[in-house]
Amino acid sequence: MDLTLSSADIAFRDMIRGEIASMVPEDIKTRVENLQHLRKEDYMRWQSILDVRGWATPAWPVEFGGPGWSPMQRVLFEEACFMAGAPRQIPHINMIGPVLQTFGTEDQKHRYLPGIPTLRDWWCQGYSEPGSGSDLASLRTKAVRHGDRYIINGQKIWTTWAHWSNHMFCLVRTSDAGRPQEGITFLLLTMDTPGLTVRPIHSLDGAHDVNEVFFEDVSVPVENVVLGENQGWKVAKFLLNAERTEIAGVGQSKRMLQFARRLLAELTNAGVSSSRLDVFRSRIARIAIDLKAHEWTLMRVIDAKPDDPKAPSASFLKLCGTDLLERVSTLLMDLGGPAGLAYDVDARNGNVDGTPPYGHVLNGTAATYFEYRKSGLVGGTTEIQKNIIYRETVSRWAAQ
């Protein structure tokens, strides 16, 4: 694809930057730019604002209510949102949405798609289990069919925002025959179903984003199966490709790099030695160069045809995105120095008035650093991604 900006792209970029900057509520922008945690209502309010403009589902085609943007326009939109201090988009919008559009029945599309853009229906992802994270095919949560319903028993873990969600898309085992991947089914369910229990997992920084979810004789109708019984692995792989594209993290890395430049300017004003500043400038420049290459790779992935043998792997995106987020969060820690170790959990959660002793950005620096240590696990570990890339590369060589 042509990665240069056409005159139309430039016009779109200028328009979208100006519009997004004027649309972000000031209180949300303040929390984002101070590395503070956002609330559920912040995300919902921002999605509703975008929905009024028809921009709430940037990756959706026009036929399903999306803007029908080109890959370049989607990248420019994401960049404008992150640079303007907008919340990140909840990943399920561009995960379960495309899954239903591709594999869902007409009834499933009619029932579930309308509530996604505004987060009226907030979905969580029931994939990982204790002992079944990267080896997802080994999952043990079982669904047994009784007439027109499935009865589910088991456990999911690290379920992000399950406590905010009213729906879940879930992988369950419906057969033990054949290869493990052949007995998995993709199910949709509501979080208020009797027998389903959500328990919080609090992270090191005091935040509550992830949860355990327990299933005790949870009854789900058969019509909630996507694609078909024991066909869930095909759906799961499709969704994981979308997830790994979502967590390429280009916009997040750009915003973090913006924070790094702010801290560098503060060090410059504080009279830090030029030799030390030059080291930080060099690291920022190196990350910026690698981030641009990563952004171009992202555009190649989302523009590629499904059967294009030259298209980069979504696993490659996830791998490089993880590396960049870890590097830039490490850079923030180094720029902060000892002050970056100070942490007030109440200040990060916005529960106190005033400013922490070293400012909100430095107050959130250590927590952000630790948060991005998990990026090598989310969506499949770094090691798993390397194995996938190796297998795909060998397969392409063999086909030549």
Burial environment of residue 109 by CB neighbours within 10 A (0 to 12, 13 to 18, 19 or more):
middle
Residue 309's pLDDT is 67
d(CA 55, CA 16): 10
Which amino acid is present at 75? V
* Direct distance between the N- and C-terminal alpha carbons of the chain, in angstroms, rounded to an integer: 22
**pTM, entire model:** 0.89
Q: What is the DSSP string of 111-125?
A: HHGGGTTTTSS-EEE
**Residue 131 CB-density burial (10 A; 0-12 exposed, 13-18 middle, 19+ buried):** exposed
- What's the confidence (pLDDT) of residue 398? 73
H or E element that contains 345: helix 345-348
User: Alpha helix locations (H) across 270-343?
Assistant: 274-303, 314-336
Cβ pair 160, 124 in contact under 8 A? yes
The tokens describing 189, both together, are 């369910």
- Pairwise CA distance, residues 133 & 198, whole Å: 18
Give me the DSSP letters along 56-112. S-TTS-GGGT-----HHHHHHHHHHHHHTTPPPPPGGGGTHHHHHHHH--HHHHHHH
Stretch (H or E) spanning 21: helix 7-23
Around 229, how many Cα atoms within 13 Å sit in the side-chain half-sphere? 14
* HSE-CB for 365 with a 13 A CA cutoff: 27
| Contact assessment for residue 201 and residue 158, using Cβ atoms and an 8 Å cutoff | yes
Q: Which CATH number fits domain 122-232: 2.40.110.10, 3.90.1150.60, 3.40.640.10, 1.20.120.1200?
A: 2.40.110.10
Please check whether the two domains, 122-232 and 247-399, share a CATH topology.
Answer: no
Query: Alpha-carbon distance 163 to 197, whole Å?
Result: 10
The candidate with the shortest Cα–Cα distance to 360, out of 375, 348, 377, is 348
CA dist 138 and 146 (Å) reads 23
Q: For the chain, 400 residues long, give each residue's pLDDT as a single digit of tens.
A: 666 788 999 999 999 999 999 999 999 999 999 999 999 999 999 999 999 999 999 989 999 999 999 888 988 999 999 999 999 989 889 899 999 999 999 999 999 999 999 999 999 999 999 988 778 899 999 999 999 999 999 999 999 999 999 999 999 999 999 999 999 999 999 999 999 999 999 988 888 999 999 999 999 999 999 999 999 999 998 887 776 666 788 889 999 999 999 999 999 998 899 999 999 999 999 999 999 999 888 888 777 776 676 666 778 888 899 999 999 999 999 999 999 888 998 889 888 888 888 888 899 999 899 888 887 777 777 888 788 788 877 777 777 6
Q: How many CB atoms lie within 10 A of CB 208?
A: 14
The size of the chain, in residues, is: 400
Report domain extents, the chain. Answer: 7-89, 122-232, 247-399
Helices 96-103 and 232-246 sit at what angle, rounded to 10 degrees? 140
Helix (H, G, I), strand (E, B) or coil at 258: helix
Q: Which CATH code is given to the segment(s) 247-399?
A: 1.20.140.10
Q: Which pLDDT value is given to residue 291?
A: 95
Q: In the prediction, which pLDDT does 11 show?
A: 97
